[in-house]
Amino acid sequence: MNKLRIGVLGCASIAKRSVIPAIKSIAEFELVAIASRTKEKAEDFALEFGCDAVVGYQELIDRKDIDVIYMPLPTGLHEEWVVKALEAGKHIHIEKSLAMNYDSAKRMVELAREKGLLIMENFMFIYHQQHQFVKGLIAQGEIGEVRCFRSSFGFPPLDNDNFRYNAALGGGALLDAAAYTVRVSQLFLGNDIKVEAATLNTMNTEVDLFGGAYLKAPDGMFAEVAFGFDNFYQCNYEIWGSKGKIIVHRAFTPGIAFKPKITLEQQGDNINYEIGAENHFVNILNEFKRCVIENDFESKYEEILNQSRLLQELKDKAQ
Ligand SMILES: NC(=O)c1ccc[n+]([C@@H]2O[C@H](COP(=O)([O-])OP(=O)(O)OC[C@H]3O[C@@H](n4cnc5c(N)ncnc54)[C@H](OP(=O)(O)O)[C@@H]3O)[C@@H](O)[C@H]2O)c1
């Protein structure tokens, strides 16, 4: 296969910290260029990562030597730039959350489908082996019948100028933190869950700072999720069954050298497992590559649409 030539739209901290190093580590990807609104930022990133510096996002999209755009822009800017990138014939690896609302997600997916291009949301945590380990424990009957799923993701306040406090840019804990808890709920309860009740709290700011929701599957299984960025740090889920409970302590953000701990609680017994360290940013890029090679786009469109439907339901129920 020819290399997938990739361009990065925006000098985001997540790009610098995690995604560009992951791109650079995969032989089948070639980092071609990085675009910023400002020349200095583009040049700094380009120097650090050994690629071209481009000033202006459209200038990068117009390049003919790029197959894939990695887009770590704030959610509020996604639809505009996704449409432009798809119109230019590029596949897109995009940061969560993809869309401001469900209708916007549908428009982006319909265009990707029409153009025959991949669009995939960077929920990298799904590709860490620790979740398969948990599924294995459940399949072996270690906790009996699953009775309840709970997940929390929240962290202390961010700098005041962070785009997450700007509603027009897609700020708020729903699109930022709740997105993880809603995504992981689908992993364990299936795609047919619905949001039954929700709350979002703005504390008189222009965005939601924290909240929670109750989601239910057709078979009666349910999830309780809580999230926020005015919170004591939490990044976990637990699955409570008829005979035991599994706790995943670092569910969404295990660093590349970090060995996640998983606790299995049974009557009179606690077992702590240590899972091997993995780079889930590399794993999801390998999945992206597989989808392009195998023309497997539909499964990713479905994931995007289901995730966006649930976030929309959560927002609607909270009003
Ligand atoms: N998957 C994950 O693990 C993960 C982790 C953290 C964040 N994220 C997601 O990644 C995205 C970026 O998050 P981040 O924390 O890296 O943010 P960030 O450092 O603020 O980066 C956002 C980038 O967007 C560009 N941008 C364009 N217009 C902007 C505007 N009006 N205001 C602010 N930035 C603007 C900027 O690039 P230029 O100035 O170079 O044009 C900026 O560097 C978000 O969607 C976030 O949810 C994902």
pLDDT, mean of residues 13-30: 98
Q: Which two tokens stand for residue 54?
A: 């481009």
Percent of the chain at pLDDT > 70 equals 100
Q: Assign domain 4-122 one CATH number from 3.40.50.720, 3.30.70.990, 3.30.70.1290, 3.40.50.2300.
A: 3.40.50.720
| This prediction's pTM | 0.97
Catalytic residue among 3, 84, 96, 245: 96
Scored b (16 or more CB within 10 A) or e, 56-80 reads: ebeebbebeebbbbbbbbbbbbbbe
The C-alpha atoms of residue 178 and residue 135 are separated, in whole angstroms, by 22
Burial class from Cβ neighbours inside 10 Å (0-12, 13-18, 19+) for residue 290 reads exposed
Q: What pLDDT sits at residue 2? A: 85
Active site residue 289: no
Instruction: Say yes or no: CB of residue 124 within 6 Å of ligand 1.
Output: yes
Architecture category of domain 126-278 in CATH: 2-Layer Sandwich (3.30)
Q: What pLDDT sits at residue 319? A: 84
Query: Look-up: residue for tokens 């990807």?
Result: 29
| Residue of the CA atom closest to atom 32 of ligand 1 | 163
pLDDT digits (tens, 9 = 90+) for 259-268: 999 999 999 9
pLDDT digits (tens, 9 = 90+) for 162-193: 999 999 999 999 999 999 999 999 999 999 99
- Confidence grade of residue 316 (pLDDT, cut at 50, 70, 90): very high
Instruction: Say yes or no: CB of residue 235 within 6 Å of ligand 1.
Output: no
pLDDT digits (tens, 9 = 90+) for 87-129: 999 999 999 999 999 999 999 999 999 999 999 999 999 999 9
Q: What pLDDT sits at residue 1? A: 66
- At 211, is the secondary structure helix, strand, or coil? strand
pLDDT digits (tens, 9 = 90+) for 187-221: 999 999 999 999 999 999 999 999 999 999 999 99
pLDDT, mean of residues 59-70: 98
Closest to 139 measured CA to CA, from 92, 175, 188: 188
Instruction: Say yes or no: CB of residue 10 within 6 Å of ligand 1.
Output: yes
Average pLDDT value for the chain: 97
Instruction: Say yes or no: CB of residue 154 within 6 Å of ligand 1.
Output: no
| Domain ranges (residues) in the chain | 4-122, 126-278
Q: Ligand 1 centroid vs 197 CA: distance in angstroms?
A: 30
The C-alpha atoms of residue 43 and residue 50 are separated, in whole angstroms, by 10
Cα pseudo-dihedral 166, 98, 21, 32, rounded to 10: -100
